[in-house]
Amino acid sequence: MLKRHLPYHESDHILNIAYNYLAGGSCLQDIELLRNDEGWLNALGAQIIPDPTTAGDFLRRFAEPDICSFMDAKNTVRKKVRQLQPATFLREAIINVDGTICANTGQ
């Protein structure tokens, strides 16, 4: 995925948006920074990724029913995956999306 598909595959768009978020992006425009980062492209094994405008065009294809269907499918899969986990798995959750460690003094 994300090699050089023109037009881009739907999976390319989804991965591009997900990777942007995981890299700390807060909006589609942040994709532009990643598009120009040779190290980023090499890490993905990609020659090029969709630009922010193309990502926006992809997202505008979806209407509310499409988004609700996606959310229902995601929740169904999430429940099935959770049921496969041992009971000890559900005792503690650690979410560390970007790898940033922030000190907390309890104030």
Query: Could you tell me if residue 97 is inside a domain?
Result: no
Query: Could you tell me if residue 22 is inside a domain?
Result: yes
Query: Could you tell me if residue 23 is inside a domain?
Result: yes
Q: Identify the domain containing residue 33 by its residue range.
A: 10-59
pLDDT at 16: 94
pLDDT at 4: 59
pLDDT at 87: 82
Query: Could you tell me if residue 69 is inside a domain?
Result: no
Query: Could you tell me if residue 53 is inside a domain?
Result: yes
Tell me the pLDDT of the chain (107 aa) as tens digits.
Answer: 555 566 888 989 999 999 999 999 999 999 999 999 999 999 999 889 999 999 999 999 999 999 999 899 999 999 999 889 888 887 877 777 776 666 777 65
Query: Could you tell me if residue 55 is inside a domain?
Result: yes
Q: How far apart are CA 85 and CA 72, in angstroms?
A: 21
Instruction: Kindly report, residue by residue over 62-80, the tens digit of the pLDDT.
Output: 999 999 998 999 999 999 9
pLDDT at 35: 94
Query: Could you tell me if residue 96 is inside a domain?
Result: no
Query: Could you tell me if residue 71 is inside a domain?
Result: no
Q: How far apart are CA 3 and CA 16, in angstroms?
A: 12
Domain count, the chain: 1
